[in-house]
A and B are shown apart, each in its own frame.
Chain A
Amino acid sequence: MNMQSHGITPERLSNLKRLEAESIHIIREVAAEFSNPVMLYSIGKDSGVMLHLAMKAFYPSKPPFPLLHVDTTWKFRDMIQFRDDTAKRLGLDLLIYTNPEGVQKNINPFDHGSSVHTHIMKTEALKQALDKYGFDAAFGGARRDEEKSRAKERMFSFRNASHGWDPKNQRPELWNLYNARVAKGESIRAFPLSNWTELDIWQYILTENIPMVPLYLAAMRPVVERDGMLIMVDDDRMKLKPGEIIREKRVRFRTLGCYPLTGAIESDADTLPAIVREMLVARTSERQGRLIDKDESASMEKKKREGYF
């Protein structure tokens, strides 16, 4: 490797190495201190990086915890395919959970709106899954640079027995000494990627060659324009509104979620370097492509208090 000197001791760990080491430390600490941890796997690029780090953290062993995907049944088909392939390729336990009441009541983003859908199929479903398996720690791939209420999030974020987050009463976190003590029913959400920025994530994906869902890359895809966003028609459950026309456009996704709630951007970026290039010059913040955060102001903080990741 070509070491650059900026008047900096070359032996100091580079930014990516330091982030990598910090994340591995956190992942190991959770595995060592909790009796029943789980890694939330949302199939997106951050989850992909987190999983990659978990594989490194325990090599040559496998990570001593399962993956959990909370399936709203509205994820892109490519995501589901990628999820199953990944679990198989790495030989990991994958738990899939869907809120049965939500399915029974046919909760969906079109009839119930993004807010209700997200609450029942994602937030509630997650809580049900954590309770069902009795997990006392759950890894999430959230980053502090994503959104304002994340900036003050802890690496080990304490949740009470009803999964609530109290931003005013967080445990102080000093050095790399994490307090992993919880009473029965309480839990910790652990965020090993807290100090990564979106650029770090892409740099790491590029340098480590981590597989990603193809939806991040531009391709011709059927989309309609709705509420100022380009929504991909991923299956025939999507009902067109009057005046809406399906167009084939060269688009890609900056973040991945439920397809009816995730806006695509028009783009020619069909390789990782092209994405990075596009991202570096883009001004829009990352979650702008997601309907969920637009519904109400300060929505993230509210959701997090209620138990959202």
Chain B
Amino acid sequence: MTADVKEAAETAVTDYILAQETKDQLRFLTCGSVDDGKSTLIGRLLFDTKLIFEDQLAALERDSRKHGTVGEDIDLALLVDGLEAEREQGITIDVAYRFFATDKRKFIVADTPGHEQYTRNMATGASTADLAVLLVDARNGLLVQTRRHAFIASLLGIRHVVLAINKIDLVEYSQSRFDEIRKEFEVFANGFDFETLQAIPMSARFGDNVTARGQHMDWYAGPTLLEHLETVEVGEHALEAPFRFPVQWVNRPNLDFRGYSGTIASGRVSVGDELVVAGPAKMSRVKTIVGAGGEVPEAAAGEAVTITLEDEIDISRGDLLSTTAHRPDVADQFAAHVIWMSDEPLLPGRPYLLKIGTRTVTATVSEIKHKINVNTFEHVAGKTLELNEIAFCNFALSSAVPFDPYEANRSTGSFILIDRMSNATVGAGMIWFALRRASNIHWQALDVDKGARSEKLGQKPAVLWFTGLSGSGKSTIASIVEKKLHIDGRHTYTLDGDNVRHGLNKDLGFTDVDRVENIRRVGEVARLFTDAGLITLVSFISPFQSERQLARDLMGEGEFIEVFVDTPIEICRQRDPKGLYAKADRGEIKNFTGIDSPYEAPQTPEVHLKNVDREPEDIAEEVIAYLHERGFLGS
């Protein structure tokens, strides 16, 4: 090579490398047994991508020197045999990590072979994976293990799945066979929370649809496995979730600098943001953020940073910094799914160490609610938990810890259990929700009671619970009702769904757990107002019968008045006062009632308001009439 050519080649490589700086990373796991061709598939991916990579680089070479990438004989089977030999020697019954890269992404593959320890190994691999590739032998179709893999992937929070229908060559590259398996899986996977599900017919052995298309399946128009892995969008959840920052290490080089080092678990943070220490609820503002490359104005999920605050407050390792707008739960009891990973069974009542984020506390399982059969998903009773078993348990902790439900946050909702004697990691858990024991709260006996108060106000307290679709006219009608009552000299208060979310419930999101908590809090507040003798108007979509029942159960006999604002969805959609239906149709809002989340209409509401071609004034009058009839408005 001449000096010129060499320099040009080096410049090209430097440019290429620097361009790679923005290369993305995808972590995935492959599930399937030897018979499904998993080793062949991994071998194929590792081998083919290396060839592609080298071809690209060869193209960068100005002197067109050949690098012998073609024709040089590397046997794919050898690579695969290596993996299998390892297994036969009994060396690997565990998780191995393998790596390959393309121009667009670097891939980290968690390879979890072996059957005996499958649940434990797969859970380990899945815990850090963005995506799961489920292998199916086209000849056998879906097996019990396919279902098990899908279940564990879902339990560990994997939202992206590839159904690799392998050995398609052995069923004559049959489209109908592919469609049959794909449809069966789609029906089955409906119950899981997968965001993307891509079925791909492939032959790992011959390479069809792994990295290249092949010539046998013109009928398949979808991506190859590699194309899909390169382009599938994953991992935005952590960025979109509220800011969470488990403090790992207090950085104090001198008296002038006090920083809190850690990895941002979710969300983003900017200089000037108000943060709160979950639990003690001490607040301050972000003064500086030191990232890996120096001071930065903002940082986001996944980054390892050091944060300094405006105020000197006492923060140490194990504390969780969070946004003030959406705070985590803080509780010493919660319910969680647990995967047991030890030969010694889990025993309720036995103390274990529980590590969540950067905090370690002592914890006991207070109750095994049920075990889950990973093959049938049936709930079964159990007193203990054996190796590789999964159960739903109640936990009691030595002190309250901050956390989020795993569904909402994989980082702040996960924990490991450590045996205090052996120090072994014996279990892994995913928090479902906080448990609050009403029995721990002692009511103050009061002399001035509800009866005394309502008598003085000259009215019978009640809760008017307006339920109906978004845009059905609940708030409009409730507002008119309140005005009429006010003019009539009644004492009232309105709890509006949207307004409450700005204040009392601003820390709640829209997960099922949060929605229940939302209703619970509003119900409790309504109950207190009832106790104060007020007529409380609640305007909430409250789509689920069970939620409304929960609120009803909080009130005294006859005090809960369910008002069903019955407006057909077509009309709600036409009105769409907040543009929400349009957003939901575009997929920008998930779990939107009436679109992709059901509305369970009340079967026997106290007041049933049909809101079609009528004036809100007239409808409101119906409610007032009901209250008069039932004696709520006294004299």
Q: Is B13 in the interface zone, CB < 8 Å from A? A: yes
Chain A contacts with B in 163-181, Cβ cutoff 8 A: 167-168, 170-177, 179, 181
Q: Is A182 in the interface zone, CB < 8 Å from B? A: yes
Contact call B14/A61, Cβ cutoff below 8 A: no
Contact call A152/B95, Cβ cutoff below 8 A: yes
Q: Is B252 in the interface zone, CB < 8 Å from A? A: yes
Bound-complex Cα distance A207 to B425 (A): 38
Contact call A152/B96, Cβ cutoff below 8 A: yes
Q: Which residues of B contact A19 (CB under 8 A)?
A: 25
- One of B101-109, B211-219, B319-327 at the interface: B101-109
What is the CB-to-nearest-CB distance from A304 to chain B, in angstroms, rounded to a whole number?
Answer: 12
Q: Is A71 in the interface zone, CB < 8 Å from B? A: no
Contact call B10/A281, Cβ cutoff below 8 A: no
Contact call B415/A177, Cβ cutoff below 8 A: yes
Bound-complex Cα distance A194 to B82 (A): 21
Chain B contacts with A in 212-260, Cβ cutoff 8 A: 230-231, 233, 235-236, 239, 248-249, 251-253, 257, 259
- One of B298-306, B496-504, B573-581, B625-633 at the interface: B298-306
Q: Is B115 in the interface zone, CB < 8 Å from A? A: no
What is the CB-to-nearest-CB distance from B235 to chain A, in angstroms, rounded to a whole number?
Answer: 6
Known: A7-B231, A60-B251. A21 touches B410 (CB 8 A): no
Q: Which residues of A contact B619 (CB under 8 A)?
A: none
What is the CB-to-nearest-CB distance from A28 to chain B, in angstroms, rounded to a whole number?
Answer: 5
Chain B contacts with A in 263-322, Cβ cutoff 8 A: 263, 290, 292, 300, 302-304, 306, 317
Bound-complex Cα distance A28 to B246 (A): 12
Q: Is B22 in the interface zone, CB < 8 Å from A? A: yes
Bound-complex Cα distance A11 to B234 (A): 11
Contact call A1/B263, Cβ cutoff below 8 A: no
Q: Which residue of B lies closest to A195 (CB)?
A: B108
Known: A28-B249, A60-B257, A170-B94. A8 touches B58 (CB 8 A): no
- One of A41-49, A116-124, A249-257, A272-280 at the interface: A272-280
What is the CB-to-nearest-CB distance from B423 to chain A, in angstroms, rounded to a whole number?
Answer: 4
Set A9, A28, A56: member contacting B248, Cβ < 8 A:
A28
Q: Is B67 in the interface zone, CB < 8 Å from A? A: yes
Q: Which residues of A contact B82 (CB under 8 A)?
A: 148
Q: Which residue of A lies closest to B306 (CB)?
A: A59
Bound-complex Cα distance A14 to B292 (A): 13
Known: A152-B94, A195-B97. A21 touches B230 (CB 8 A): no
Contact call A274/B6, Cβ cutoff below 8 A: yes
Q: Which residues of A contact B78 (CB under 8 A)?
A: none
Contact call B263/A176, Cβ cutoff below 8 A: yes
What is the CB-to-nearest-CB distance from B390 to chain A, in angstroms, rounded to a whole number?
Answer: 14
Contact call B252/A61, Cβ cutoff below 8 A: yes
Contact call A28/B292, Cβ cutoff below 8 A: no
Chain A contacts with B in 264-309, Cβ cutoff 8 A: 268, 271, 273-274, 276-277, 280-281, 283, 301
> Which of A3, A15, A268 is the most central at the interface, judged by chain B CB atoms within 10 Å of its CB?
A15
Q: Which residues of B contact A194 (CB under 8 A)?
A: 97
Contact call A25/B263, Cβ cutoff below 8 A: yes
Q: Which residue of A lies closest to B74 (CB)?
A: A283
Set A12, A145, A273, A301: member contacting B17, Cβ < 8 A:
A273
Known: A3-B22, A197-B106, A207-B21. A175 touches B127 (CB 8 A): yes
Contact call A174/B101, Cβ cutoff below 8 A: no
Set A152, A174, A207: member contacting B123, Cβ < 8 A:
A174
What is the CB-to-nearest-CB distance from A251 to chain B, in angstroms, rounded to a whole number?
Answer: 17
- One of A93-101, A198-206, A222-230 at the interface: A198-206
Chain A contacts with B in 1-51, Cβ cutoff 8 A: 1-4, 6-21, 24-25, 28-29, 31-32
Q: Which residues of B contact A215 (CB under 8 A)?
A: none
Q: Is B554 in the interface zone, CB < 8 Å from A? A: no
Mark each residue of chain B from 1 to 13: 1 if its CB lies under 8 Å from any CB of chain A, else 0: 1000010011101
Bound-complex Cα distance A172 to B123 (A): 9
What is the CB-to-nearest-CB distance from A71 to chain B, in angstroms, rounded to a whole number?
Answer: 30
Q: Which residue of A lies closest to B290 (CB)?
A: A59
Q: Which residue of A lies closest to B251 (CB)?
A: A61
Bound-complex Cα distance A17 to B291 (A): 11
Q: Which residue of A lies closest to B259 (CB)?
A: A60
Contact call B424/A171, Cβ cutoff below 8 A: yes
Bound-complex Cα distance A59 to B288 (A): 13
Set B14, B93, B127, B302: member contacting A18, Cβ < 8 A:
B302
Q: Is B98 in the interface zone, CB < 8 Å from A? A: yes
Q: Is A58 in the interface zone, CB < 8 Å from B? A: yes
Q: Which residues of A contact B101 (CB under 8 A)?
A: 15, 197, 199
Mark each residue of chain B from 341 to 361: 1 if its CB lies under 8 Å from any CB of chain A, else 0: 100000000000101111000
What is the CB-to-nearest-CB distance from B213 to chain A, in angstroms, rounded to a whole number?
Answer: 19
Contact call A175/B414, Cβ cutoff below 8 A: yes
Contact call A144/B99, Cβ cutoff below 8 A: yes
Q: Is B606 in the interface zone, CB < 8 Å from A? A: no
Chain B contacts with A in 75-97, Cβ cutoff 8 A: 82, 86, 90-97
Bound-complex Cα distance A56 to B121 (A): 33
Bound-complex Cα distance A87 to B257 (A): 24
Contact call B304/A179, Cβ cutoff below 8 A: no
Bound-complex Cα distance A16 to B186 (A): 35
Contact call A203/B57, Cβ cutoff below 8 A: no
Contact call B292/A177, Cβ cutoff below 8 A: no
Contact call B290/A12, Cβ cutoff below 8 A: no
Q: Which residues of A contact B262 (CB under 8 A)?
A: 28
Q: Which residues of B contact A12 (CB under 8 A)?
A: 24, 235-236, 239
Q: Which residues of B contact A179 (CB under 8 A)?
A: 355, 416, 418, 423-425
Contact call B120/A29, Cβ cutoff below 8 A: no
Q: Is A57 in the interface zone, CB < 8 Å from B? A: yes
Q: Is B332 in the interface zone, CB < 8 Å from A? A: no
Known: A174-B127, A273-B11. A203 touches B20 (CB 8 A): yes
Known: A176-B263, A181-B353, A280-B53. A11 touches B239 (CB 8 A): yes
Known: A28-B262, A174-B428. A145 touches B99 (CB 8 A): yes
Q: Is A151 in the interface zone, CB < 8 Å from B? A: yes
Contact call B25/A203, Cβ cutoff below 8 A: no
Q: Which residues of A contact B261 (CB under 8 A)?
A: 28, 57-58
Contact call B263/A268, Cβ cutoff below 8 A: no
Q: Which residues of A contact B144 (CB under 8 A)?
A: none
Q: Which residues of B contact A21 (CB under 8 A)?
A: 263, 292, 302-304
Bound-complex Cα distance A283 to B53 (A): 12
Bound-complex Cα distance A56 to B294 (A): 9
Q: Which residues of A contact B380 (CB under 8 A)?
A: none
Contact call B1/A15, Cβ cutoff below 8 A: no
Q: Which residue of A lies closest to B421 (CB)?
A: A183
Contact call B120/A144, Cβ cutoff below 8 A: no
Q: Is B33 in the interface zone, CB < 8 Å from A? A: no
Bound-complex Cα distance A292 to B544 (A): 68
What is the CB-to-nearest-CB distance from B257 to chain A, in angstroms, rounded to a whole number?
Answer: 6
Contact call A203/B21, Cβ cutoff below 8 A: yes
Contact call B97/A151, Cβ cutoff below 8 A: yes
Bound-complex Cα distance A9 to B130 (A): 14
What is the CB-to-nearest-CB distance from B352 to chain A, in angstroms, rounded to a whole number?
Answer: 11
Set A8, A57, A149, A207: member contacting B233, Cβ < 8 A:
A8
Q: Is B23 in the interface zone, CB < 8 Å from A? A: yes
Chain B contacts with A in 99-136, Cβ cutoff 8 A: 99, 101, 104-106, 108, 111, 120-121, 123-124, 127-128
Q: List 9 A-B contacts (CB under 8 A).
A: A8-B24, A14-B22, A14-B23, A15-B20, A21-B292, A29-B358, A179-B424, A268-B1, A268-B6
Besides the contacts A21-B292, A186-B423, what 9 more A-B pairs have beta carbons closer than 8 Å? A25-B304, A144-B96, A172-B428, A174-B124, A177-B415, A179-B416, A181-B418, A195-B99, A283-B72
Which B residues contact A (CB, under 8 angstroms)?
1, 6, 9-11, 13-14, 17-25, 53-54, 57-58, 67, 72, 82, 86, 90-99, 101, 104-106, 108, 111, 120-121, 123-124, 127-128, 230-231, 233, 235-236, 239, 248-249, 251-253, 257, 259, 261-263, 290, 292, 300, 302-304, 306, 317, 341, 353, 355-358, 410-411, 414-416, 418, 423-425, 428
Leading 8 A-B pairs by shortest Cβ distance: A24-B304, A181-B423, A174-B127, A15-B25, A61-B253, A277-B13, A151-B96, A21-B304
